[in-house]
Amino acid sequence: MAEAINRTDFEFPGQVNVYHGKVRDVYNINNELLVMVASDRISAFDVVLPRAIPFKGQVLNQIAEKFLDATSDIVPNWKIASPDPMVTIGKYCNPFPVEMIIRGYLTGSSWRTYKSGAREICGVPVADGLKEHQRFPEPIVTPTTKATEGHDEDISKEEILKQGLVSAGDYEKLEDYTRRLFQRGSEIAAEKGLILVDTKYEFGKVGSQIYLIDEIHTPDSSRYFYADKYDELFAKGEQQKQLSKEFVREWLMENGFQGKEGQNVPDMSDKFVESVSERYIELYEKVTGEKFIKVPTETVVERIEANVNNFLQNY
């Protein structure tokens, strides 16, 4: 099996600190640049699973890079360069403490909430009588808090403004950007025979300028259905064929894990890890329309370090 990168610990010139997130290792360079290394870690239910997935970081970084470029006319983004298949370097931004989630369909956590009897998701009213995977008349924006530790929590627009997490003026811009980015992502997905079901966006600021930050339209942040099977499967009440991380969540739930206290992550066999890697590569090829080129992993840490150092020396 190919080598997978679970964690990096570099010391780059001008490095102020490093933040190890659920998936990415983020290096702050002089409070001016961020070096974001997409590791091969995988998380579900806000828990980092014990085994990393070969090529996952490359898939995430390269999809995000393509979609950042494809949406830069809608909103400026943080990306400056991608000097390595697993690295993006960009502007150091002050992030907003919320994640902007937008949903076109009643699926995943929103369906689980709805099935439990709720008819409001993050302050947005939802009609009675809906079925799993049903398309909303219009996409709904369902923000969450951005937790530094533990679980992100659902929150309404009204509560965000009440708590002063985001100003009213900035929130209107974030919601507008979110809807326009989702529309663009949906159009690109449709060209490839996919439906962009739901996704999340993160934003930050430099001075008064808002930037799109982090990743965009990757299988970690988004859910896709196959368009050609959607109507037939929905009519039969069957599960949609999807390209996302949801199949990992489903496998965990089948094995008694939902991230709750006292639960243990089930053992991930080599076969399961390889199947997850294959699904990520499948999504890359489907959503980009390009063949995925596996970059050799034998000396991946040394390669990343050399490529980042070379960029920083010449920046």
Beta bridge partners of 90: 34, 79
| Two structure tokens written together for 133 | 């995977």
User: How far is 123 from 114, CA to CA, in rounded Å?
Assistant: 13
Alpha helices in the chain (DSSP H): 56-70, 109-115, 157-163, 168-191, 227-236, 246-254, 270-288, 300-314
What pLDDT, in 10s, does the model give residues 11-24?
Answer: 999 999 999 999 99
Give pLDDT, residue 185. 97
Question: How do the domains of the chain map onto residue ranges?
Answer: 96-243
Question: Of 200, 224, 253, 234, nearest to 132 (Cα)?
Answer: 234
Q: CA angle at residue 213 from 309 to 174, to 5 degrees?
A: 165
Residues in the chain predicted with pLDDT less than 50, given as ranges, are none
| Two structure tokens written together for 74 | 């809608």
User: How far is 173 from 162, CA to CA, in rounded Å?
Assistant: 17
How many Å separate Cα 207 from the centre of its chain? 25
What pLDDT, in 10s, does the model give residues 129-167?
Answer: 999 999 999 999 999 998 766 567 999 999 999 999 999
User: How far is 49 from 72, CA to CA, in rounded Å?
Assistant: 33
Give pLDDT, residue 150. 58
pTM for this model (two decimals): 0.90
What pLDDT, in 10s, does the model give residues 229-253?
Answer: 999 999 999 999 888 788 898 899 9
Question: Of 62, 9, 36, 1, nearest to 216 (Cα)?
Answer: 62
Residue 3's CB is within 10 A of a number of other CB atoms, namely: 15
Share of the chain above pLDDT 90, in %: 89
197 SS3 class: strand
Largest CA distance in the chain: 59
Q: Does the structural domain 96-243 have CATH classification 3.30.470.20? A: yes
Residue 84's CB is within 10 A of a number of other CB atoms, namely: 24
